[in-house]
Amino acid sequence: MSDNDILSRLDAALAARREADPDTSYTASLYAGGVARIGAKIREESEEVVEAAAEDDDVHLIHEVADLWFHCMVLLGSRGLDSAAVQAELGRRFGVSGIEEKAARPASDGHE
Ligand SMILES: N=c1c2ncn([C@@H]3O[C@H](COP(=O)(O)OP(=O)(O)OP(=O)(O)O)[C@@H](O)[C@H]3O)c2ncn1[C@@H]1O[C@H](COP(=O)(O)O)[C@@H](O)[C@H]1O
């Protein structure tokens, strides 16, 4: 099994946690707190990623990015989505220059 399979395995685990007890599942406790709680964790973990990036400790950086990915996956799970949807979007973008893609966006596109 490749390391990439961990994302789909984790997707399945996170989906199963929708029925779990928040007292025994960290994921279920995040779901119970909704976007406010999950979003707060994503902000916190994002900050920790940036702080780790300023250090010369690759293991710490990888640990913090894993925390951030995990909490983003929980956010997707809370909406009934999963990492496969994000991988599909990255696949759609693959090979398209970010500079060219942004220049081709319609003027009405609200994304920055
Ligand atoms: N991959 C993860 C995972 N990554 C991080 N975390 C938790 O995320 C939390 C992060 O907490 P904190 O912010 O307090 O910790 P921190 O920011 O790393 O702390 P410091 O860096 O400041 O020391 C910790 O409780 C971690 O255990 C995770 N919790 C669960 N999973 C996966 O989710 C599955 C389901 O977990 P449960 O829902 O708990 O059963 C597990 O089997 C795992 O596969």
Residue 70 CB–ligand 1 contact under 6 Å: yes
| Model confidence, pTM | 0.89
Q: How far apart are alpha carbons 50 and 56 in whole angstroms?
A: 12
Query: Under CATH, which number does the domain 5-103 receive?
Result: 1.10.287.1080
- Judged on CB neighbours under 10 Å (0-12, 13-18, 19+), 37 is middle
Are the CB atoms for 31 and 77 separated by under 8 Å?
Answer: yes
pLDDT digits (tens, 9 = 90+) for 20-44: 999 999 999 999 999 999 999 999 9
Interface confidence (ipTM) of the complex: 0.89
Residue with tokens 């999963």: 82
Q: Where are the domains of the chain?
A: 5-103
Mutate which of 21, 29, 64, 70 to test ligand 1's pocket (most atoms within 8 Å of Cβ)? 70
Protein residue closest via CA to atom 34 of ligand 1:
13
- Residue 93 makes CB contacts below 8 A (sequence gap 6+) with 101
Reported confidence tier of residue 66, pLDDT bands at 50, 70, 90:
very high
